[in-house]
Amino acid sequence: MDPRVVIGEINLAGVFFSPLLFCMAVAFVLRILLSRLLETVGFYRAIWQRPLFDTALFLILTGAAFLALRGLTHS
- Please report, for residues 7, 12, 15, 29, the alpha-carbon distance to residue 18 in angstroms, rounded to integers and kept in the order given: 9, 11, 10, 17
Handedness of CA 46, 49, 54, 59 (dihedral sign): negative
C-alpha span between 52 and 50 (Å, rounded): 5
The answer to whether 61 and 27 are in contact (CB under 8 A) is yes
* Res 5: pLDDT: 52
The answer to whether 75 and 2 are in contact (CB under 8 A) is no
Please report, for the chain, the start and end positions of each structural domain, with discontinuous segments joined by +. 20-74
* Res 29: pLDDT: 97
**Tens place of pLDDT per residue across the chain (75 aa):** 555 555 577 777 888 888 889 899 999 999 999 999 999 999 999 999 999 999 999 999 999 999 998 888 775
